Amino acid sequence: ISSAWYLDRIEIVDPETVIKYHFICEKWLAVDIDDRMISFEILALENKVISESIGHQTTTYRINVITSNKFGSGTDANVYIIIFGEHENTGKIPLVKSKTNKDPFEKGHRDLFEIEAIDIGQPEKIKIGHDNSGFGSDWLLECVEINVLKLDHTWIFPCGKWLHKTKDVTQLELELYPKEISTGIYSSYVPYQIKICTSNIFGAGTDANIYIQIYGLQKSTDQVMLCSKIDRHGKFQRGSTDIFILELDDVGDFMEKIRIGHDNSGFGPAWHLNHVEIRRLIKGEKTNTYVFQCNRWFAKTEDDGSIVRELFPEKLIKEKLNKK
């Protein structure tokens, strides 16, 4: 008789708090399969799902997590989600076993998770994040789709943002709100072309991570890194022009100012910025390119010692994208 055993998970309920703990294994315990171990130490995952015994009903959630198709978008970190209703929330649910991909949250992946958790009714918002673990933890999340089987409805939570951690900026968790399918995933987001021109003077290039925030008349984008650590190599060097396409909040036709800086990381963080050019990429519509002159150092040991500056547009170039 074979002794090999494949353990999926163990669930333990604390009778006093009526909280259910999940211990995920998903491995063989066998002397001739996998890593040939027959015992494992399994740590409890952080999510806690309230048991039905205290009067809470449960339901099944089908959660699709879509990672961006841009280079370096995937993550090796452990991802979790919390779904909020009007009065209840599911607690922190680890997204461990994708039904569509063996290795979840990779570039361009659409990962499906079926979760049994407390019934919170109609989802009003979610929090999604990761623990910053693994070799490549930076993650560009495109959107999350949640289908509640008993309600026969799907809610879409658009994102288009990085979840990452640097020396000065930490964004490992995002709060997202739903949009109906008919309105489109990115109705409040537009693509921006951001051109960064580093000065052509000695020592102008930087090893630091560059971030930017764009301000309109009534709203602004989030502060975002221009590229991940994986994409960072070779950019922001002396005399270089680096172009980035980012999906960000639509601040409107008029850009009042930008806030740009770096995290002072790396062997040579000092940076001399010549100028920045930004335009919204709206297909078939006239687009204005805003030019933000700078010609200053971002360095603790140069100029006024500042590593972040606010720049105002000094030039406006009107143009129209080519129709294809």
How confident is the model over 29-57, as a mean pLDDT? Answer: 60
Q: How many domains does the chain have?
A: 3
Q: What is the pLDDT of residues 9-28, one digit of tens each?
A: 787 877 766 666 667 666 77
pLDDT at position 13 is 77
How far, in Å, CA of 296 to CA of 80, rounded?
42
Count CB atoms within 10 A of the CB of residue 224. 23
Q: Over 60: is that where the pLDDT of 55 sits?
A: no
Residues 226 and 162 in one domain: no
Residues 28 and 2 in one domain: yes
Contact predicate 224/213, CB 8 Å: yes
How confident is the model over 56-68, as a mean pLDDT? Answer: 87
Residues 174 and 248 in one domain: no
Residues 291 and 263 in one domain: yes
Residues 66 and 155 in one domain: yes
Residues 126 and 220 in one domain: no
Residues 69 and 122 in one domain: yes
Q: What is the pLDDT of residues 172-215, one digit of tens each?
A: 899 898 875 433 333 456 889 999 999 999 999 998 889 999 99
Residue 314: domain span: 189-320
Residues 167 and 236 in one domain: no
Q: Which residues contact 60 (CB under 8 A, 6 or more apart)?
A: 114, 115, 116, 148, 149, 150
Q: Which amino acid is at 94?
A: P
Residues 310 and 280 in one domain: yes
**pTM above 0.85?**
no
Residues 15 and 99 in one domain: no
Contact predicate 266/210, CB 8 Å: no
pLDDT at position 180 is 55
Q: What is the pLDDT of residues 162-179, one digit of tens each?
A: 888 765 567 889 989 887
Residues 57 and 147 in one domain: yes
Nearest to residue 90, comparing CAs of 62, 129, 116, 54? 116
- pLDDT over 70 for what percent of the chain? 82
CATH of the domain at 216: 2.60.60.20
Residues 31 and 58 in one domain: no
